[in-house]
Amino acid sequence: MTSQQQNYVGGAWTDSDTGETFESTDPTAPDEVVAEYQHSDESDVAAAVDAAAGAREEWANTPAPQRGAILREAASELADRKEELTELLTREEGKTHAEAGGEVQRAIDIFYYYAEKTRDLGGTRKSASGGGTDLYTVSQPVGVAALVTPWNYPIAIPAWKLAPALAAGNTAVLKPAEDAPGTALAIVGALDEAGLPDGVANVVTGFGDVGAALVEHDDVDLVSFTGSAEVGHEVYETATADGKRAQCEMGGKNATVVAESAAVEEAADIVANGAFGVTGQACTACSRAIVHESVHDEFVEAVVARAEAIDVGPGDEYDMGPQVSESELQGTLDYVDVAQEEGATLETGGGKPEGDRFGDGYYVEPTVFTDVESDYRIAQEEVFGPVLAVVEVSDFEEALATANDSQYGLSASVVTADHGEAERFVTEVEAGVAKVNAKTTGLELHVPFGGFKQSSTETWREQGDAGLDFYTIDRTVYDAF
């Protein structure tokens, strides 16, 4: 029997005012409904924001270590449900069991991390120029946070927004993406079990109009968004026009440079893992391999072999799962057609795999293109599927220029045995994350994360101490005694 999930508003599980629901389905078998969720509207958003605003003062005045204790208990609740949440994430989003389990564990770790960071909150003390004055700062929460999150990391991204917001003393309303909202609801369920006061965290499910109403609400003080560049820039303009503090992290067209000195087999492993992991549905996925001409042919042979060795199928048994929806699958297949029309050579993949196990699932083969020019759409636009464009270059100078030849600047990596090249790369690449001899995907939770150019509003970073900075504001105190 399909479960029907409710919104979480003011400490209670509630139905939407619309009385309507929508379904999430299994991308491996689209006819199978995973769960029904509330089809919320503006009135539901208003109720959630009212609840958050009403809880704001009491939560802000709760000692930070007490807030941390609740986050710690919520992390423990999530850990107890890890296997259940892993299965839910796999069924709604399509990740393999291993990938989903890793993401659930990351959410757990994030809550534990920010639970401990609450002990460090407070401010700083400085020396005044003259005597007789205590000079110090006091960090305080900003207010009500609107959090709008995507489907591709449906528990990790809500966690890395919600945990620092609550740790810093803000209240929040979360709107998860409609394709896979189940694990986001599980987070607030864990917080509820941990004793979070009513109204501090709220979740409303629905579609884009719900997110828009949340961003526009007068009682929202700050907005954090992760999603597409097109929507993100609209969110930022709307939020800042109303004087709200805002951060938006958006798309990527991430490159790995394979230098002349690179160990080719290692480079192929790094690129393939970055390009085809999580079905390429990561904003940090490697979608461009920029390869020196002297190792180009050997690299292509190696990376094609890795693509063809990937066993595609349902996430509980195979190496790579489906795309999340029919529209995402069709978008990837459309880019395959565009690449060939532009003159790129399809080395492997490019279609839907055939066989009984695939049924009507949203599967696509890991795909590699060569003979790609940097101005091709396949090298400039975000595909968000397991598609790799290989661009051949003649030297490191050209490789670096090609890596920077993008409107995006989220993550980039270089594979090289030359330390001088590595130093130049991390200094000159136009990306918020730069890696040496490592894949473009994969992030540590205790350091800042964010992009450059169209990948980000370049206002505030997420995760680590930077994640707390967005959710706090300092008051400077001059105490003359």
Please give the positions annotated as active site: 283
Per DSSP, helices labelled H in 81-195 are 82-93, 97-117, 156-167, 182-193
HSE-CB at 91 with a 13 A cutoff on CA atoms is 18
For residue 59 the two structure tokens come to 């939560």
Q: In what order do the strands lie in the sheet with 472-480?
A: 125-126, 133-141, 472-480
DSSP string covering 344-378: -EEEE--S---SGGGTT------EEEES--TTSHH
Specify burial of residue 444 (Cβ count, 10 A radius: 0-12, 13-18, 19+).
exposed
Residues 6+ away with beta carbon under 8 Å from 417? 259, 261, 262, 263
Distance CA 406, CA 383 (A): 14
Residues 6+ apart with CB under 8 A from 11: 51, 192, 196, 197, 198, 199
For residue 298, with 0-12 CB atoms within 10 Å meaning exposed, 13-18 middle and 19 or more buried, which class applies? Answer: middle
What one-character DSSP code corresponds to residue 449? B
| C-alpha–C-alpha distance, residues 96 and 101, integer Å | 8
Helix/strand/coil percentages in the chain, nearest 5:
40, 25, 35
Using DSSP, state whether 111 is helix, strand or coil: helix
Helix (H, G, I), strand (E, B) or coil at 282: coil
Contact 464, 216 (CB under 8 A): no
Altogether, the residues listed in the chain come to a count of 481
Under 8 Å between Cβ of 181 and 24 = yes
Residues 448 and 29: their CA atoms lie apart, in Å, by 37
Residues 146/217, Cβ–Cβ less than 8 Å: yes
Give me 87's structure tokens. 């299965």
**Whole-number CA gyration radius for the chain:** 23
CA 283 to chain centroid: 7
